[in-house]
Amino acid sequence: MQTLTDEQLVERIKVDEVRGFAHLYHRYKHRVYAYCYRLLRHPQNAEDATQETFLKIHRSFQQLENPASLQTWIFSIARNEAFTILRRVKPVEELEKAENEVWEEEGPLERIVERERAEVVQRCLSLLKPAYREVLILREYEHLSYSEIARVTGASESAVKSALFKARKAMGVKLDSMMNERDER
C-alpha cells in the first residue's frame, strides 16, 4: 500500500473511498501541516488550515482532472486555505502593498532573540513577505520544481524563478547581518 503512486492512489480512492482517503491523508498530512505552519507561523492556524485543506480535498475530489498532478493540487488547496487565514489576520492591502518589498514589517515581538542558527534561519524566513516565503518553502522543503510551484501559486515559471532569486538574496543578506549581530553580543 505504501508503494502506491499518486495516480494509483487516486484510482484506489475511487474504488475504496474510506481507506483510500485515509491513505492520502497519512501520506500528505505532515507535508501540508508543515507548509501551512511555515506560511502562517502559528500552530493552531496551521492545524485549522490543514484540516480545511483535507476536508476540501474530500469534498472536491471529483474536480481533480489529472491524477498525476495530485501533489500540486493538494498544495494549491493548502495555499488557498493558508492565505484565507493570513487575510483574516492581516488585511489584503497589507499583504499586497509594495510588491517589490521582500520583508514584512518587523514588530517588537518579532525581533531576533534566538541564539541557534537554525532558529535564526526560521525567524528570517518568517519575516519574508508571504509571496517570497511560499516559493522558498515549496522549493526548499517540498522540493517542488519551478513548473509545479507555478501551478500551485498560479504564477508563471519566470516569476517563480525571479521570486526565488530575490528571496534567497534577501535571506542571505539578512542572515549575515543577524549572525554578525548575534556574534557581537
Partner 1 sequence: MTCETYEEQISALIDHELKDEETEVLFAHLSTCRRCRHSLQSVLDLRSDFGEQVPPMAPKELDEKVLQSETRPKLYAGDRKPMTLQVWKRRISIPMPVAAAMAIVLVAGTIVLTSLWTSPQTIYVTTLPTVEVRGNFP
| Interaction site with partner 1 (CB under 8 A) | 13-14, 17, 21-22, 25, 29-30, 32-34, 37-38, 43, 46-47, 50-51, 54-55, 58-59, 61-62, 117-118, 121-122, 139-141, 145-146, 161-162, 164-165, 168-169, 171-172, 175
Helical (H) or strand (E) element with 117: helix 117-127
Helical (H) or strand (E) element with 149: helix 146-153
Of 51, 117, 135, the closest CA to residue 85 belongs to 51
What's the grid cell of residue 133?
516565503
Residue keyed to cell 502593498: 97
For 126, other C-beta atoms within 10 Å of its C-beta total: 14
CB of 129 to partner 1, least distance (A): 17
CB of 141 to partner 1, least distance (A): 7
Nearer to partner 1, 54 or 73 (CB): 54
CB of 180 to partner 1, least distance (A): 14
